[in-house]
């Protein structure tokens, strides 16, 4: 009789260990899943910020080119031809930039094409500062 009680007791101890290991594995998998989701959210948030900086840099480049084209005292306007404008120090952290190309034809009817490429990072000449660089392009024809 004593041997049977010891055998049952030993079986229960083994079950407790198995239960604890299984429960630990489940909790670990849940924790890793939550960490994975959080990591993706951080990457997405950073990507959205970089995209916005690049887009608004391109928009600023378009606006500057339109202002120069419509200003009578501007160096660039109204002479026909092609010219390039580089803007730096843009964006929420001041590292965004834009390269703007303007092609102006004074034929009748006059045609102007402005292409602005905005970047989320760049130096004074809009050269890349680091890895993951985001580019957004806007084009205006009139």
Please report, for the chain, the start and end positions of each structural domain, with discontinuous segments joined by +: 2-141
DSSP, res 71:
-
Q: Indicate the pLDDT class of residue 47, thresholds 50, 70 and 90.
A: confident
Question: CA–CA separation, 116 vs 58, rounded Å?
Answer: 5
pLDDT tens-digit profile of 69-122?
Answer: 777 655 555 567 788 889 988 887 888 999 999 988 877 787 889 999 999 888
Sheet harboring 135-141: ordered strands across? Answer: 81-90, 96-105, 111-119, 135-141
pLDDT, residue 140, reads 93
pTM above 0.75, yes or no: no
For range 51-63, the mean pLDDT:
92
Q: Which of 112, 100, 90 is nearest to 138 (CA)?
A: 100
100: enclosing H helix or E strand: strand 96-105
């Amino acid at each position: 009789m004593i041997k049977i009680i010891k055998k049952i007791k030993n079986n229960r101890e083994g079950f407790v260990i198995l239960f604890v290991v299984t429960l630990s594995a489940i909790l670990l998998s849940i924790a890793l899943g939550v960490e994975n989701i959080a990591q993706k959210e951080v990457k997405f948030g950073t990507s959205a910020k970089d995209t916005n900086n690049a887009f608004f840099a391109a928009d600023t480049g378009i606006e500057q080119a339109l202002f120069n084209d419509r200003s009578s005292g501007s160096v660039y306007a109204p002479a026909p031809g092609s010219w390039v404008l580089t803007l730096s120090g843009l964006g929420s952290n001041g590292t965004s930039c834009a390269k703007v190309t303007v092609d102006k034809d004074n034929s009748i009817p006059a045609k102007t094409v402005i292409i602005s490429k905005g970047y989320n990072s760049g130096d004074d000449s809009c050269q890349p500062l680091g890895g993951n660089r985001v580019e957004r392009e806007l084009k205006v024809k009139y």
